[in-house]
A and B are shown apart, each in its own frame.
Chain A
Amino acid sequence: MADIVLDKVSKRFPDGTVAVQDVDLEIADGEFVILVGPSGCGKSTTLNMIAGLEDISSGELRIAGQRVNDKAPRDRDIAMVFQSYALYPNMTVRENMAFPLRLAKLDRATIDAKVDEAAKVLELTPLLDRKPANLSGGQRQRVAMGRAIVRQPKAFLMDEPLSNLDAKLRVQMRTVVSRLQKQLGTTTVYVTHDQTEAMTLGDRVVIMRGGAVQQVGPPQELYDHPRNLFVAGFIGSPSMNFLHAAVSEGRLRTALGDVPVGDRLRRQLEGADAPRELILGIRPEHFEDAELIDEETRRRGMEFDAPVDIVESMGSDKYVYFTIEGERATAAELEELAADAGAADFAGAGSSLVTRLSAESAAREGENRRVWFNLDKIHLFDPSTGRNLTLHEGRAAGALAD
């Protein structure tokens, strides 16, 4: 049990590329922290530096208050679960799990007791005498976890441990990991590129981009109060809609109509160096079919008409896609997110708007539909810096806030 502190930790490779830049992070004892970001953001390198598998170029890493920069992995007393599981194929499940204990020179009886206990927790008891080759993917994954938990280390490091499982098993194993971590109360750092895993598993989520930390916080906070465009676009599925917005006479001209602006934001936009163009962000669930809205709610939002492109009925609600004319929102962050999603070369002429409407909505493909959206939930971003302008003391306040 221990806390882990990263103090301005950086990683520079010999060829000059900076993989991780000045990461400051304090992970409390027993906390479950997720490092998340698109591929190449430095999350795995950060984890490997904590593990000791990569050298730290500058900065300091402390585990339980002790500087461990120069300690070998085996002297740090932390266990790691690899994406590939990395089971020793020449050993049985029992030998795999006993391996760290045998290296620690424990006596036979203690080793057997510990392995049996860990096997029971992970329901591996009937498989103890099998070789990894004779196990299914999910079973191998559990053996890898078992090998990590047997020796009760100070911390667990997990490098995308579920990404090789199929979708259904992944959801199931997510709860197993979560329960195990709660049960053991061991400090855990978990790397993933899957924002759903990040949202559901962690006490706190660290979003990384290009080797730098973008925002750290509990999942809900990141979702509701993203500090910048990248965080807003990365967290949430389907992701936030981004529209181009031009500032003009205290209003925002967007493809959804003119959006009024509250006093606080107006003051911000009147500054000499204030941006003239903004990016308006709004999440799918903050739209609703205008027919289903009562008067009270209607006053907090705005309405627009648009042709329905596609309707996806999820049962509990409907995802309705609209095609919106007008200028597309552009920013470096958005391009990066699109590239990560593999959609960079997949963009039509106008922008597409994703909305999540009630299941009662009668929206049909091909027709025009009147849709309401909540002005309190709008985020406005500066396209040059990516900063969220609606954020006030860390809280997003919508466009109308005074």
Chain B
Amino acid sequence: MAVETTNRAKLRWGLLDVIVVVFALIPVLWIASLSFKTPGTLTDGRFWPREWTLDNYRTIFDTDQFVRALANSIGIALIATLIAVVLGAMAAYAISRLDFPGKKLLVGVSLLIAMFPQVSLVSPLFEIERQLGLFDTWPGLILPYITFALPLAIYTLSAFFKQIPWDLEKAAKMDGATQGQAFRRVIAPLAAPGLFTTAILVFIFCWNDFLFAITLTSTERARTVPVALSFFTGESQFEDPTGAICAAAVVITIPIILFVLFFQRRIVSGLTSGAVKG
């Protein structure tokens, strides 16, 4: 049924795509370019650095500040992602497969959490965490991240679970599987793309968060990279930290790219095709 696209149309669409990609990538490339410039040429307005240097990168890895923040970021984001995806998968499975009292309420409340402006929760969270001794700790960030990532995880995952034909689970039960075996051997492999997609989204959310990270931390114990970046001042107050900040920004995008590339291979569409009907 696909209409044969003419070369002209292909060209037009191709051009449009290129424009969109360039528009989206220029700021990123600009930052990458700045990170390779020497302090003297920083403000020369050239896209291509005249003098290449790796000094900026050396600077950031020399400061304990950044390395600690990077470790905090990776640890906190991974733990929060893992917990959110596991909890989200269980909740989403229940929502898509079972009819239980309060189901609508649960879905509604989780949507409510997603809609709630996070800024308004920052002060109460700050007070609560200080009282509970969670302030400036890893759990102090992991907990709110899970809270706000869960609605996202539940929504994405239940959409994926709903796509899996229920007959498959019935068939597995008839074939002699327990509920657990049916989930592990039939449902979970089919929901894998959903799990990976959700993991990516949740990870990016945790990784990029600035608001919670700046309010709920005070020292390097739990400070994450986005916050650490804002505290970058350079060696002395006369030094311009722009190059270092750019280098750090480039460095912190690398884990995200790796994470996405790693899981993207597993996001294969059409995994359930051929399961039902003819």
Contacts and interface: CB of A to CB of B under 8 A. Distances in A.
Residue of A74, A87, A137, A141 most packed against chain B (CB within 10 A): A74
Interface stretch (A97-105, A201-209, A374-382): A97-105
Contacts of B108: none
Contact of A100 (B165, B167, B175): B175
B176 A89 contact: no
Interface in A54-82: 72-74, 78-80, 82
Contacts of B278: 85, 136-138, 140-141, 164-165
A223 interface: no
Nearest to B190: A90
Interface string B257-278: 0000000000000111111111
B167 A86 contact: yes
B274 A53 contact: no
Residue of A52, A82, A138 most packed against chain B (CB within 10 A): A82
Contact of A80 (B168, B174, B273, B275): B174
B173 A73 contact: yes
B276 A85 contact: yes
A103 B179 CA distance: 12
Contacts of A82: 167, 170-171, 276
Contacts of A72: 173, 178
Contacts of B177: 74, 103
A190 to B, nearest CB: 15
Contact of B271 (A87, A90, A151): A90
A248 interface: no
Contacts of A79: 174-175
Interface of A: 51-53, 72-74, 78-80, 82, 84-90, 99-100, 103-104, 131-138, 140-141, 147, 151, 164-165
23 contacts: A51-B174, A74-B173, A80-B174, A82-B167, A82-B276, A84-B167, A84-B275, A85-B276, A86-B168, A86-B276, A88-B172, A88-B186, A89-B271, A89-B274, A90-B189, A103-B175, A103-B177, A133-B273, A140-B278, A141-B278, A164-B277, A164-B278, A165-B278
Given A88-B171, A104-B176, A147-B171, 5 more contacts: A74-B176, A84-B165, A84-B276, A87-B274, A99-B172
